[in-house]
Structure 1
Amino acid sequence: MIRLTKQRRSEERTAVPGGALGMLRIIDRLGDGAHARELAAQAALDPSTVSRAVAALVADGLVARQPDPHDGRATTLAVTPAGRAALADALDWYQRLVDRALADWTPDEIAAFDRQLGRFTEAMQDALTTTSFTTTGNLEVAR
């Protein structure tokens, strides 16, 4: 569902290239003056992947490179006004999608879903931080 949702958003809201929305959000969260190395660490991505994504965001006018005032050899990243507008539009699109999906859910159902999704997210984070893990068959149950 995540892949299909991202694909649909990219088709309907073309201002932010597919796969770049997360990067744009992180740059926005880091604020003006973000360095590419910070972005790579926050995104948990290889610097070459980040470099390509940033280049696309710069080419689309969503992010600007600025000279680092503390290091003349480096540049920092900042979301442009067009980038902020595109980000707001994309996030609004996701909000309206979730609102439509949950339109006939009761408040209790939404609260229960929220609790269980939070629990699942934490469990996945814990599982990914272990050095090794074995399959227990729970994935088949989830499917």
Structure 2
Amino acid sequence: MSAFSMAPLFRQSIGFDRFNDLFESALRNEAGSTYPPYNIEKHGDERYRIVIAAAGFQESDLDVQVERGVLSVSGGKRENRSEGVTYLHQGIAQRAFKLSFRLVDHIEVKGAELRNGLLSIELVRIVPERPAPSAFRSAAAGRPLES
């Protein structure tokens, strides 16, 4: 009997548990979408971090954008830095990639940093305060009406 792992369903969304959206996202994933490897970390109730292995890339090679609730991270070598170099073994993959993560409302990107070959993207959940309920008095009845 083979084991069924739900892990691929939870890698693409941060900050919410919508099973149907996660399931559809997992079905649409391409076979090569595991490059580069990454971690999604939760720090307390309101903070998240995505850490992407970006060995061999510089900041100018990476692009981080948020559009319509989707965080997109892409990378690719912009210039050929290895002219005159013959690799006897090239184990550090530097091929182009694109990763996408669906963000729920109130999750915001606070910053990104490339350090020691790891791209860390800081996310925070900002929950707006609920306005206090308002009550109004009816002039005719003298009783409160709620809005």
Could you tell me the TM-score, scaled by structure 1's length? Answer: 0.23
Could you tell me the TM-score, scaled by structure 2's length? Answer: 0.23
Please identify which structure carries the higher helix content: 1
Please identify which structure carries the higher strand content: 2
